[in-house]
Structure formats: structure tokens, C-alpha cells
């Protein structure tokens, strides 16, 4: 076959051979790329089961789009009827080859297993169980990137299995007990196999042994794995427990999803990193330079430049954050010190940064004076200071000069990364830029009036510069939030958000914020869950450290679909990136609330309230938890605190009425209901809110009628119909399921805990 041209592929050399077929390296003559061709063995060409299995492999892998899963280009058939799969060609070594060289260090082993887990989690989300995870099917390419290969015995759920109970598929040494005994398997069998791979990476030995296959399977079914310390000495307790949990005989005792495992690995790595950073703080030459950009101080006579001071600090922060080799404290972290006159050493300790950039702005007419200082947080030593007095039109050059000077004084090594002055400003018009900064300033205040002000300034920026992509993205976010707050009807606000996000992407398709905004609209307004996920994933791919992307992905897509394990991981990732964000604390709590993990939800809402007792949403969300726990008086107290801060929020009033009705205060609930109905004739009140009150009153038919109206108006909170505890009382009603089917449609994956057998 070598040298032949099959279809548009020229076969170059043989790569390997197995029971099902043979793999060749080939050149794709059309697209001028190297590929791998996997041919079904000629002896099996006429075997219908073998052909079915071979086609199934291509279908399973091609259904997935993930950087840790092999890429399938096509499945084809020669003139002689021999099937072959064209797939990406990878150069590297398999984990089998790597393990043969000896044990892998813990850090590298966890890095590899994390990638395996992320790739398999994607497969599990699609209802696909690999069933043959082993080192030979895992390849390391480009030094550290894992590719999961060979989906030949993978199984789709909701499809007839390729093998019957009692018939073994897979590789015995890596089979779970249920797989080895011929029982039906689900995604937790893959988790077992990943545990075996991790064990083998760490020790270069397998956890179970036997002189023959029968003895090996008996060991898997009945014996404990050999202690890891037998091979490598003591192992970190959290990792030891993780391995033991993956290798639990009973699937119910294992991790119930790979997202749980990934969360544990996150926690371990975070603890390790924190301990390392604590040690680094006392070292003379810290390994990773770090800095916080404090909000600049307004020294203008009129004291009317707060938006400009905050905005300039954020722009410099964003410019520096793009540079490799520098860790920049988040906006929420740095801005907690705004107006506090805090000691530099205190700031450094709180934010775990080595240097702080602080500054002041004095603006008069068209001229601006900016003074900046770079200070060591360890001893308060002034590293560098400068003043810039120029025309306002030079503001972009000033930003670049400040960023460049910071880089020079930190002595960063960029190794080919973008250097000082390479940050993109998106507009060269100073007036448009000024409106954009005002828009972000009001956006960050997160009140109804401030969001409306933000919209005005974003629109002004766009009128001046119609190609200002960031302004369109900000406009999209502002319209979305007004809808989330229940201040604007979805049919009014969401199309505007969609139009703004799409316009931003037409100008700059690489703008991550716009992809995230688009994902939100597609999820919570259009209920187009599949396209929404694509938008979220694109935004995260473009900017992995964008906390807002992980936050909105968790709460606006994963949670409505019931993918709680993954939602917790994404929300926790957002919290790691923005540990001082009250909204993200609320998001973690909400995921736990919707998953009925009420004690965990309470913990996060109370943590947020400890940070800021005047943040109304967390009082409100805490009250919702108490309602579900039948702690009605505590719930009503929380709602009253929330409404004292935000007294025109109709959803808060409706939920208070729901709780009052549930606690027996029917008259109070009906009075509030009448107020809401009267108000709805003057302004937008979500039909969902009215339905919630009727649910509390026990009037199911009326509640269902309002729920149907909520679906017609595409009410935001109805996105959570599948998981909302308030709606549980309607879950047996046919009309309820009709509405739910309308909303959930063809969801990406609607399983809260992974595929089921």
C-alpha cells in the first residue's frame, strides 16, 4: 500500500498495526497536510459487526471538538470496499512509551491527567464513554499536550451498545470492576481508568497485577491496589485520596464526574501555589513579577474626573495583563483600596503582589498631567516615578509610555511576546475614548440608573467612532444586565444586546468579551443552547483569564442545563481570577442553590455579605435558600434587607410574596400580588414574578397560565425552568413540561451529573 494514492491521500509509511486494522502516514494532496489513515483490517472488511464498530469509532471522535481529543477529518471507503478513517497525524510519544522510562514527577503527572480529564469530560457531556483509556491510547504531542486516541470501543448512551452484557471490551489492566465483570458501564468506568493511568504515571507500575488475564481480573474485582508508597515513598495526602477515590470498587464511591476530580486538582494546585507564593514572598528574587494598579486619584479642581482616573488605571491594567511573565492583580482586587489611603505594605500583603503602581490625574481644558509612582511592597522603596504633561489627544501614547516604563523597571523577559506599547486601543478618537471610560465607570456601579448612564455613554462613543468594537461590547453587556435586573422586557433589551455584540464581532472577531455577550443572549433569550456554548467556549479560548467569561458561562448556560459539577468548576475558576468579586461569590452560591446544595450555598452568600453587607443580591439569594429550607422568617428578613437597599426590584417583591404565602401569611402575599399586577400596567413586570406568587399561594392553574406568558415574553428566570426550586410544585403538571420542552429544546447536555447508563 505504501506509495499508493487512495482517494486524495498518498500513503507514505506504515505507523502501526492492531487487531482491528493498520495505520499509515499519508499526505493529503488537496489540503497539503500530513494525516494518519486507519484502515479496517482486510480480513474484517466483510464482517458487518467489525464495520459497524469501525464506523462507530469515527462517529464518536468526530462528535467531539476539544484540544485534547484526536481530530477526525473523514471516513471513506476504497473502490475495493475497505473502510478507512482519515485523522490528524500527531508526532510525539504515548504515555506507554513515557512510562517505560520510569516514574513521572507529580507536577507533570497532574498536568497530563488534568488534560485527560478535560478531554474525557467533553466526551461524557456528549454521552460518550471511551471504555479503553490506557497509556497506549494517550499521546503527548508538542512536549506537553495530551491527545486522546482510539474511540474504537466507545459507547454512545441513548444508543444500542456495541457489546452485550458479559462480553468484555477494552484492555483488562485498565478495566473498572464493572467493566471487567461484563456489566453495563457508564462514565465512571472511564474515571477508574484515568485513576489507573495516574497511578502508573506516578509509579511506573500498575495498581493490579496477575500472571494471566483471569488472575488480573480477579485482582481488580477483589483486591486493593498496591500502596503507592511502596514504589515512590510518601505522596501528598490529597493526591493519595484522589487516586483512592478514582479506584474505588463501587462506582458510587468514585468521583461522580470528571469535573469533581478537576475541582479537587484545582484545589490541590491552588494550595500548593499559595504555599509556594508564601515562600516566594520572603525570597530576594521572586520567580514571577507581580503588580497591582491602584485607581488613580483625581486632583482636578472640579473633582469631576473619577471616571477618567478609574478608566486609565483599568486600561494600563489591561495593557500589562496581556504581557507574558507578569501577574497583574484584578480590578476588583485592586479597587477595594480606592479612597482608603492604605499602607503600601498592607496592599502588597493583601494582594500578594511585589509592586504597586499608583498615580494622580490633573485635567484642565485640553491638557492633562499624570503623575505615577512604582513602589516596592516589601519595603515601600520608590522604584520609579515620572510625570506626563501633554495634550489630551496624546492619552494613548501616555498609556503606552507608562506601561513600557513599568515593564522596563520590572525587568521582564518577554521571549517573543507582545512588548510595551503593543496593546490595542480600539479607537484613536479621544472624545469617543472618554465616553467609553465613562460607560465602564457607570457599568461598574451596577445600579439601574448607572447602567442606563453607561448605555448613553457607550452609544455616544459609537456615534463618534462607529468602528469602536469595545464600545459595542460594553453596550451589549449593559443591555443584558438591564434585562437580568428585570428593568427592561427581554423582547426590548435582548435584541439590542444581540445587535451590539454582533456588530462588535464584525469589527473584531477576536474580541472575547463580545463572544461572551453573544453567548448570554443565545442562552437566556434565544434558548439556543448549542450555539451559546460555542460562543462561550470561543470567548474563553481567546481570553482564558477573563473571569467574566467563566462566571457567565457557569451561571447562564451550565446551570440552566443542570451541569452543576462543571458549573461549580467554572464559577470557582472565575472566583480564583476575581476573589473580591461579590457577583462571582453570588454565582458560586447560586449554582449550589439550583443544585439543592443549600448549606454550601449559604456559605458563599454569607462570605459575600461579610465582605459587603450592602450588596442586595446576596441578601436576596440567601433568602431564597431559606425559603427552600422552610426557614421562612429568616427568608423574609433577608428579603426585607435586600429591598431596603434596592426597593424597586419587582423580582425581590414577588419572591417575598411567594415566601409570605408559603409561610401562611396569605393576606400579605395577596396584597403584594395586587401591587405587582397594578404596577405591571405601568411598567415591565416579568410574568415569571407573578407566577411565583401564585405558586406560593398554591394556585397551580393560574401559576401555569402566567408561566406560559413568561415563556412568550422569554423571561430571563425561565431559563432556569429545569433546575429552579421555586417551580418544583409544578413539576408534575403536563402544561409545565410543555413549557420546559419549549425552553430546553435540543440542549447541549442536560445531565447534572454526567451520562447515566
Residues marked as catalytic: 132
Residue of 350, 357, 277 lying closest to 317 (CA atoms): 357
* Pairing of β 367-376 and β 355-364: antiparallel
First vs last Cα of the chain: how many Å apart?
A: 42
In whole angstroms, how far apart are CA 430 and each of 163, 258, 372, 606? 67, 49, 21, 43
Question: In a 3-state reduction of DSSP, which class is residue 678?
Answer: helix
Can you give the C-alpha Rg of the chain in angstroms?
Answer: 29
Nearest-angstrom CA–CA distance, 116 and 700: 47
Pairwise CA distance, residues 304 & 201, whole Å = 61
Taking alpha carbons only, the member of 335, 483, 328, 482 closest to residue 412 is: 328
Residues 699 and 730: their CA atoms lie apart, in Å, by 10
Burial class (CB in 10 A: 0-12, 13-18, 19+), 589: buried
User: From CA 174, how far away is CA 179, in angstroms rounded?
Assistant: 9
What φ, ψ does residue 451 adopt, rounded to 5°? Answer: -65, -40
SS3 714: coil
Alpha helices in 597-750 (DSSP H): 598-611, 616-628, 632-645, 650-662, 666-680, 687-697, 700-713, 734-744
Residues 115 and 147: their CA atoms lie apart, in Å, by 8
In this structure, what are the phi and psi dihedrals at residue 598, rounded to the nearest 5 degrees? -70, -35
What are the two backbone dihedrals, phi and then psi, of residue 64, each rounded to the nearest 5 degrees? -115, 145
CA atoms within 13 A on the CB side of 330: 14
Q: Which residues contact 16 (CB under 8 A, 6 or more apart)?
A: 22, 23
Q: Which three cell numbers stand for residue 481?
A: 444586565
Quick one: cell of 366? Answer: 485640553
- Output DSSP code: residue 71: P
DSSP 69: B
Amino acid at each position: 500500500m505504501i506509495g499508493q494514492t487512495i482517494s486524495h491521500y498518498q500513503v507514505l509509511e506504515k505507523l502501526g498495526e492492531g487487531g482491528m486494522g493498520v495505520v499509515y502516514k499519508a499526505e493529503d494532496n488537496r489540503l497539503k497536510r500530513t494525516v494518519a489513515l486507519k484502515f479496517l483490517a482486510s480480513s474484517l472488511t466483510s464482517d458487518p459487526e467489525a464495520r459497524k464498530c469501525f464506523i462507530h469509532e469515527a462517529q464518536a471522535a468526530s462528535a467531539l471538538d476539544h484540544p485534547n481529543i484526536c481530530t477526525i477529518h473523514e471516513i471513506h471507503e476504497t473502490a475495493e470496499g475497505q473502510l478507512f478513517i482519515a485523522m490528524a497525524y500527531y508526532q510525539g510519544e504515548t504515555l506507554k512509551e513515557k512510562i517505560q522510562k520510569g516514574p513521572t514527577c507529580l507536577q507533570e503527572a497532574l498536568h497530563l491527567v488534568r488534560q485527560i480529564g478535560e478531554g474525557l469530560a467533553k466526551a461524557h457531556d456528549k454521552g460518550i464513554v471511551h471504555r479503553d483509556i490506557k497509556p497506549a491510547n494517550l499521546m503527548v504531542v508538542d512536549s506537553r499536550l495530551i491527545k486522546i486516541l482510539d474511540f474504537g470501543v466507545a459507547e454512545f448512551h441513548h444508543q444500542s451498545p456495541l457489546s452485550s452484557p458479559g462480553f468484555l471490551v477494552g484492555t483488562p489492566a485498565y478495566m473498572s470492576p464493572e467493566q471487567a465483570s461484563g456489566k453495563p458501564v457508564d462514565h465512571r468506568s472511564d474515571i477508574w481508568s484515568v485513576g489507573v493511568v495516574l497511578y502508573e504515571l506516578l509509579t511506573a507500575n500498575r495498581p493490579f497485577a496477575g500472571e494471566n488475564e483471569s488472575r488480573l481480573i480477579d485482582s481488580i474485582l477483589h483486591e486493593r491496589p498496591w500502596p503507592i508508597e511502596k514504589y515512590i515513598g510518601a505522596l501528598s495526602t490529597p493526591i493519595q485520596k484522589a487516586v483512592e477515590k478514582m479506584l474505588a470498587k463501587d462506582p458510587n464511591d468514585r468521583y461522580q464526574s470528571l469535573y469533581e476530580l478537576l475541582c479537587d486538582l484545582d484545589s490541590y494546585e491552588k494550595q500548593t501555589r499559595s504555599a509556594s507564593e508564601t515562600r516566594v514572598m520572603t525570597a530576594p528574587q521572586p520567580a514571577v513579577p507581580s503588580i497591582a494598579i491602584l485607581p488613580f486619584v483625581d486632583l482636578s479642581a472640579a473633582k469631576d474626573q473619577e471616571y477618567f482616573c478609574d478608566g486609565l488605571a483599568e486600561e494600563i491594567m489591561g495593557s500589562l495583563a496581556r504581557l507574558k511573565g507578569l501577574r497583574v492583580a484584578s480590578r476588583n482586587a485592586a479597587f477595594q483600596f480606592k479612597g482608603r489611603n492604605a499602607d503600601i505594605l498592607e496592599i502588597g500583603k493583601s494582594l500578594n503582589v511585589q509592586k504597586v503602581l499608583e498615580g494622580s490625574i490633573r485635567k484642565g481644558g485640553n491638557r492633562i498631567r499624570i503623575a505615577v509612582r512604582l513602589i516596592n511592597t516589601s519595603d515601600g522603596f520608590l522604584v520609579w516615578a515620572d510625570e506626563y504633561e501633554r495634550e489630551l489627544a496624546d492619552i494613548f501614547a501616555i498609556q503606552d509610555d507608562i506601561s513600557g516604563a513599568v515593564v522596563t523597571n520590572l525587568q521582564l523577559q518577554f521571549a517573543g511576546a507582545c512588548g510595551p506599547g503593543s496593546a490595542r486601543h480600539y479607537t484613536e478618537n479621544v472624545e469617543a475614548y472618554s465616553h467609553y471610560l465613562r460607560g465602564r465607570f457607570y457599568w461598574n456601579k451596577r445600579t439601574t440608573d448607572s447602567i442606563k448612564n453607561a448605555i448613553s455613554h457607550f452609544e455616544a462613543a459609537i456615534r463618534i467612532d462607529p468602528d469602536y468594537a469595545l464600545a459595542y461590547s460594553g453596550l451589549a453587556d449593559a443591555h443584558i444586565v438591564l434585562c437580568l435586573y428585570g428593568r427592561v422586557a427581554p423582547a426590548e433589551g435582548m435584541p439590542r444586546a444581540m445587535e451590539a455584540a454582533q456588530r462588535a464581532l464584525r469589527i473584531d472577531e477576536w474580541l472575547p468579551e463580545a463572544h461572551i455577550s453573544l453567548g448570554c443572549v443565545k442562552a437566556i433569550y434565544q434558548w439556543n443552547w448549542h450555539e451559546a456554548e460555542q460562543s462561550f467556549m470561543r470567548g474563553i479560548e481567546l481570553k482564558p483569564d477573563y473571569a467574566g467569561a467563566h462566571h457567565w458561562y457557569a451561571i447562564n448556560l451550565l446551570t440552566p442545563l443542570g451541569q452543576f459539577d462543571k458549573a461549580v468548576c467554572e464559577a470557582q475558576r472565575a472566583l480564583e481570577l476575581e476573589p473580591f468579586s461579590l457577583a462571582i461569590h453570588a454565582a458560586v452560591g447560586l449554582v449550589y442553590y439550583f443544585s439543592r446544595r443549600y448549606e454550601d450555598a449559604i456559605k458563599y452568600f454569607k462570605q459575600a455579605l461579610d465582605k459587603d453587607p450592602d450588596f442586595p443580591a446576596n441578601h436576596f439569594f440567601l433568602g431564597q435558600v431559606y425559603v427552600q429550607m422552610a426557614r421562612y422568617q429568616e427568608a423574609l428578613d433577608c428579603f426585607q434587607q435586600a429591598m431596603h437597599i434596592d426597593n424597586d426590584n419587582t423580582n425581590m417583591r414577588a419572591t417575598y410574596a411567594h415566601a409570605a404565602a408559603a409561610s401562611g401569611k396569605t393576606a400579605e402575599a395577596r396584597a403584594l400580588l395586587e401591587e405587582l399586577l397594578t404596577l405591571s400596567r405601568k411598567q415591565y413586570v416579568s410574568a415569571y414574578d407573578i407566577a411565583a406568587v401564585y405558586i406560593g399561594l398554591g394556585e397551580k392553574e393560574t401559576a401555569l397560565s402566567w408561566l406560559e406568558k413568561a415563556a412568550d415574553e422569554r423571561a430571563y428566570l425561565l431559563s432556569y425552568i429545569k433546575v429552579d426550586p421555586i417551580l418544583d410544585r409544578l413539576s408534575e403538571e403536563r402544561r409545565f413540561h410543555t413549557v420546559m420542552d419549549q425552553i430546553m429544546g435540543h440542549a447541549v447536555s442536560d445531565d447534572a451529573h454526567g451520562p447515566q447508563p
